[in-house]
Amino acid sequence: METYRKTFAVETKGEGDLSDITEELREAVRTSGMTEGLACVSVPHSTAALVTLEFEPGLQSDIRKALDRLIPKSVVYDHDRTWGDGNGHAHIRSSFLGTSITVPFHDGAPDLGTWQQVVLIELDVRKRRREVIIQIVGA
């Protein structure tokens, strides 16, 4: 059993920006030299999220609209009353979507479907530099 770790940064373009990081995950699993185990993709942030999504323009638009409907910016957030940074909705969206995804791998490749990408969602109201951690344990 071994561990392998890779970190990288993503410069996001602001609220609703989506980044497909599947290839970084595939590359990390390959480079680890392991054939079977678990790969955890994680972001140490409270206004970003990770989801699996078919990364095509229609669904990129649909997930932004779903977030606007479900956890709207127009609601008054107590967070914003205190801190005035206008990103209360971004924090709540992050809690609902989650900031960590664990994917099994086998034969040196993650168990992801053809139409299933690992996607970083920028939820904050401005451009951010996001750190992504891929931590692998296996053999």
Write out the residues near its own copies by the rule CB under 8 A.
1-3, 5, 36-38, 40, 42, 44-46, 51-54, 56-59, 61-63, 65-66, 69-71, 75, 77-83, 88, 91-92, 94-106, 111-113, 115-116, 133, 135, 137-139
Q: Toward its own copies, which CB reaches closer, 31 or 102?
A: 102
For residue 87, the one-letter residue type is N
Q: Which residue has the tokens 């490749």?
A: 109
Q: How many CB atoms lie within 10 A of CB 120?
A: 22
Query: Encoding tokens for residue 102?
Result: 């664990």
Minimum distance of its own copies from residue 59's CB (angstroms): 5
Minimum distance of its own copies from residue 60's CB (angstroms): 8
Q: Toward its own copies, which CB reaches closer, 30 or 75?
A: 75
Q: What DSSP assignment string belongs to 9-45? A: EEE--STT-EEE-HHHHHHHHHHH--SEEEEEEE---
Q: Toward its own copies, which CB reaches closer, 9 or 57?
A: 57
27: Cα within 13 Å, side-chain hemisphere: 7
Q: Toward its own copies, which CB reaches closer, 101 or 125?
A: 101
State how far the alpha carbon of 136 is from the alpha carbons of 5, 6, 37, in Å: 6, 9, 7
Minimum distance of its own copies from residue 14's CB (angstroms): 19
